[in-house]
Structure 1
């Protein structure tokens, strides 16, 4: 068994997973595969394993039990009360005893920074040890992180070496990640034939995410000749396995390009019915902006209700934007803020991030720029965010008021002390909070790498734009560069590196 399933599902999805097991069943909820794996070591037959048995085995020093119970405590799953500190302690003990899977699990948790504050150096150390011991999950986790950097320094060559090891062991995630990069050529020299073969191998092994990845490349024509029909077939194949991401992507493409509004609606609805709550929000957004004729705007409420029922947090942001810009109603900045505040009071973290950004920056029309009000929201509702997210937003608020070179230098120094903050989302927020600071940071980085030789003034001069375009073409979504390198998505992606 290569690892406990809890570790390899998106942590944020795990945090929101609801279980409806009976009280007696909850005590048995540590997943049958994990139970069977440790039954022999614990001395208890698999049929009789209870939570108390797992705890007893962990107390006796069984490293497998410590790892399983530690993960369950960190995530608060399967009827195990959440206790992050206790869970970390269990993982630490298991890792210290040499359990490679515990090192991998703890390393990923400390790399992601969701349940515990990020500790990039410790994370890399743990993952390196596990990878060297042949733990495939560690090779894939560390290899993919090294491709793009962010919390850790990017090292694409080392990342490829690790992913090659995992791919040779047949790991479908490694095959998918490496195959996608070799086709796209974003951080590695392109080898489209090799990458295509890897993606096909992952698909043959039953990985629907690989079908979505290859379909996305064929839809955009990134590294391969564009083939929307083959992309659609791959997306439909993934949907048969319950993965609606590709259908959502295809419907989105049809909708915003206006190629086929009716077809877009059909595919997005299918994705929504497969559990993609974001597809309902996409439909609501398209309806709001007139992309779903006939009577496009009249469809908003129906799709918004489906998005709310699916628990997609972004719908609250769309409802606020609708009120703020006066779409099918009178425009009202205070009304938009009220919508967001209500959503935040109900525990909507996406609405909180948007609300903080909105009042931090203003919108130039009916919402004033009030950084201190943004700071008050952050202080009051920080429990909705991870520690890293809260610290990132606090830094963007500092950036919003950093108008002098000295103040901007102070923010830049603070950021340099926290490489784990780097992410595309944080880069976008930093750019929105202070465009000059964001451009200055990029100028500094491009000068270090020999792409730019002008002054570090934070201005989008012609030499700066040329250098940004050159840098932009190395991004995974390089197609956006043609739309303008000052797009917040582009700047955010560049800052994330």
Structure 2
């Protein structure tokens, strides 16, 4: 960080401000860091601004940590309000880099712009840094950055000169001006900084300026300072020659030797390669020594080169064991070249390492799975020959399929389809492409469409390639293949750039005008859903109506969907939707039967008839459609308008899974996780089903399993495995996974808080469709472990969510207001906002306002009377457990009486177990008698207490508490006394899982 150079050593500070009457801290020796820090802490607490600045300086000179630097930032905030320029500059730098405070570009601007206006060159340069890299939520703005750097550079600021030079070289934010950039770098180069010299060398080596050979001068200048990187770059110049300077291998060798002697890994490897190329045994021995030293850096590059030499035994002694030892760590990490190298060693053996075809096959399998072509070739031959295991000729031929000739184009297409489907023959994309291609060469354009489909979706070892797919569909279209035209339209719609949407629509419209029913229903569906093209119900109706009149089931079903949801100016009409679904269902359209079945169960648009609706759903599920089975399971497990049938739901979900639908495993998992009716909760079985879905690469399965792993529910707690699963799912743009990861990195419960990770994953969740993701992120920044550094940014996110009408945002903003984070009258504003939400029927707003009335807040005194009246007026908004909790909370506010304790006892049994620990802690902090009373009730339920329900901490009560502590093995905590926060937390959690309900 540029500004850290301004942080001076901590000065002696020995103010003696009394802690309390008659007490004052002792004076310190100058070298006593701890004592000085204590003095500063003491004086800063007393409000001394100089002490705050000195303490912040001391904290920033300590190793970076969230607590130390966050504390420093807080002190700097206080000092900055006095106008102290040093405090302002350092604080701005902290906000820009997210060190000790949340990364917050707006705060940087707020701090630096006034300083810059007063002529501070450092502030001007700091603004340049802000706009060069950006800082949430300020996006990078190269043009503004360049302007600031230019201002500071004109005043002699070294950092700004360098940054401006880089921008001039690349034309980033300014018009490229190589000459001016070189002038600036030359000025900086007078200081002797080798990295400036290297930068100048790169300007000439890259051809941005000439003559090219000047690069040698600058690299040499840097190398003379002992910079190993410059030596390697200069050596590369002499290896190949540049400009008018020809190659000089001796100079290159000398330079590489110098870099290698300095321990530079790149220099060691480059020198080793040069030596190996010479072909002499002496040079080879020296190369091996160099590579051995380079391999000690645990880098794959030198290790794999060295392993190959030992395995071949030509330029190095044959040493298979050493080769294996070098490769194995990288193979364990999935490094493809290491996997292939190990496969080669075990395929034929190396020295004392015997050949092991099975192990070779294992490593080739792994490498081939990552797409390594050489491994695929090796594995293909091993499979064909049965080396290392059972022969698998079909799979071997998929990897190494020979050219086969055929003259019947439709037979080629059919055989290609068989290989593509992987049913009668093992799936083989290469063979499918071969036969499709041969058919296309012989004039059958359908072959082109089929090839396009393989490249569109990917198949076996052929990765998706949209450019290839579009090329083949275009060729099929040119040869008037109807399928090719529609597939091209679908490709453009789903994967093409935005400007291709219009062309896709034109292609479908042209096909529809020619009577293509498939194109007609596709286009009508697009117009109905309003995706990719503007919703236009009238046009969709015009497209479908003629087909529907001809009795086309898909068109009738499409009209049902159109009227079920409405589109554009066409309003929804459930009755018409039901009528069209009836017609389509009569023609055996299973989509229509499914939609009609759901409408009959709900009585939507048609007369309610759950029995018939359920029969239709069972009929659709019986044909083998996995999604229909899942839909049936959902209906049976819901019990809405149909008899609750958990076993029937279980059978439906299992049938869907047996039919090959991984999503059914998710349904099974949640059925067992929470239980339903006569199916008891079974987290272990739930975890097994989620693992099944995760293995099928289903993101929801990965997230669900990860959540169990985080809680240790049904499985052993494993945070690392959970994070891996979540990252895999997030990598597929899964909003849920990204949101969970954002929360993990923000809340600090399972992972060390990490602002950037939390922000990036939360943003990814938002981008993937989770509208509340940034609201949650904002709340975590405002009140979570990242709050010391990022609170202001968090409040901004919450405020933005309110403006965007994100559900729940008003309540969360009110929470921040009531906590005193948004002004001295925050609770007053929170009350106003919450009352409006309560009138709109929001139970979360009611519970928060009750809490505010109980505890008070900025500008609003606690008022049991208001709380009682609010609860009585709006109790209907709350569930029974929530009402019980709020009742206990209300009675815990006032001094304990026999009547209030009786009310608390009556309500305790209704509190949800998840809320019980919070209720106990609330009573602990608010009313110790109520707290003891709750413990007496709970301990009586578990058989540890038989005394009176008095609310007094009697010997019998303490004895019961000690027995509970012994059962929980927390005696050490309990020795601190029954009225400590730690005991309250532990006993609250213990009683929440008590075997019997609380009794009044």
- TM-score bin, normalised by smaller chain: 0.5 to 0.7
Distance 1:181 1:84, change over 3 A: closer
Q: Does 1:175 align with 2:556?
A: yes
Report the Cα offset of residue 290 of structure 1.
3.6
Distance 1:134 1:294, change over 3 A: closer
Q: Does 1:72 align with 2:438?
A: no
Could you report, residue by residue, the CA deviation over 1:283-309 in whole angstroms, capped at 9, with x for unpaired residues? 211322343545313442443355456
The residue that corresponds to 2:700 in the other structure is: 314
* 2:802 aligned residue (429, 433, 436): 436
The residue that corresponds to 2:661 in the other structure is: 276
The residue that corresponds to 1:413 in the other structure is: none
The residue that corresponds to 1:253 in the other structure is: 635
Distance 1:350 1:222, change over 3 A: farther
Contact 2:741 2:761 in 1 (8 A): no
Q: Count residues with an aligned counterpart.
A: 377
Report the Cα offset of residue 197 of structure 1.
4.5
| Distance in 2, Cα, partners of 1:370 & 1:206 | 55
* 1:373 aligned residue (749, 757, 771): 757
Q: Does 1:288 align with 2:673?
A: yes
The residue that corresponds to 1:408 in the other structure is: none
Distance 1:372 1:33, change over 3 A: farther
Q: Does 1:341 align with 2:727?
A: no
The residue that corresponds to 1:92 in the other structure is: 474
| Distance in 2, Cα, partners of 1:55 & 1:102 | 15
Distance 1:110 1:54, change over 3 A: same
Contact 1:184 1:223 in 2 (8 A): no
* 1:138 aligned residue (497, 503, 519): 519
Report the Cα offset of residue 223 of structure 1.
1.7
Report the Cα offset of residue 399 of structure 1.
6.5
Could you report, residue by residue, the CA deviation over 1:142-188 in whole angstroms, capped at 9, with x for unpaired residues? 11111121322211211222233443455443322322343566774
The residue that corresponds to 1:122 in the other structure is: 503
Report the Cα offset of residue 360 of structure 1.
3.6
The residue that corresponds to 1:487 in the other structure is: none
| Distance in 2, Cα, partners of 1:460 & 1:151 | 39
| Distance in 2, Cα, partners of 1:279 & 1:461 | 43
Give secondary structure in 2 for the equivalent of 1:296: coil
Distance 1:210 1:432, change over 3 A: farther
The residue that corresponds to 1:156 in the other structure is: 537
* Higher Cα Rg, which structure: 2
| Distance in 1, Cα, partners of 2:563 & 2:465 | 41
| Distance in 2, Cα, partners of 1:360 & 1:219 | 39
* 1:198 aligned residue (577, 580, 592): 580
Could you report, residue by residue, the CA deviation over 1:236-282 in whole angstroms, capped at 9, with x for unpaired residues? 21122111323322322332458333333233333333333222211
| Aligned positions of 1:32-47 closer than 5 A | 35=413
Contact 2:505 2:523 in 1 (8 A): yes
Give secondary structure in 1 for the equivalent of 2:682: helix
Structure 1: state its 5+ residue gaps.
Answer: 1-19, 39-48, 380-388, 404-430, 442-458, 467-482, 484-497
| Distance in 2, Cα, partners of 1:26 & 1:240 | 43
Distance 1:231 1:25, change over 3 A: farther
Report the Cα offset of residue 84 of structure 1.
2.6
Contact 2:663 2:698 in 1 (8 A): yes
Contact 2:470 2:491 in 1 (8 A): no
| Aligned positions of 1:206-225 closer than 5 A | 206-225=588-607
| Distance in 1, Cα, partners of 2:412 & 2:575 | 38
Query: Which stretch shows the higher mean deviation, 306-315 or 148-157?
Result: 306-315
Report the Cα offset of residue 340 of structure 1.
3.8
Distance 1:151 1:284, change over 3 A: same
Distance 1:235 1:193, change over 3 A: same
Distance 1:172 1:82, change over 3 A: same
Distance 1:313 1:181, change over 3 A: same
> Which structure 1 residue ranges, 4+ long, deviate > 6 Å from structure 2?
24-34, 78-81, 375-379, 394-403, 431-434, 459-463
Contact 1:284 1:304 in 2 (8 A): yes
| Distance in 1, Cα, partners of 2:596 & 2:754 | 44
| Aligned positions of 1:409-428 closer than 5 A | none
| Distance in 2, Cα, partners of 1:276 & 1:129 | 36
| Distance in 2, Cα, partners of 1:241 & 1:461 | 53
Contact 1:172 1:202 in 2 (8 A): yes
Report the Cα offset of residue 316 of structure 1.
1.8
Could you report, residue by residue, the CA deviation over 1:440-488 in whole angstroms, capped at 9, with x for unpaired residues? 89xxxxxxxxxxxxxxxxx99979x99xxxxxxxxxxxxxxxx9xxxxx
Distance 1:90 1:166, change over 3 A: farther
TM-score, structure 2 normalization = 0.32
Contact 2:742 2:761 in 1 (8 A): no
* 1:104 aligned residue (478, 481, 486): 486
* 1:242 aligned residue (624, 639, 646): 624
Contact 1:244 1:271 in 2 (8 A): yes
Give secondary structure in 2 for the equivalent of 1:129: helix
Contact 1:70 1:90 in 2 (8 A): yes
| Distance in 1, Cα, partners of 2:720 & 2:715 | 15
| Distance in 2, Cα, partners of 1:31 & 1:297 | 56
| Distance in 2, Cα, partners of 1:218 & 1:193 | 11
| Distance in 1, Cα, partners of 2:403 & 2:585 | 35
Query: Which stretch shows the higher mean deviation, 155-164 or 296-305?
Result: 296-305
Contact 1:316 1:340 in 2 (8 A): no
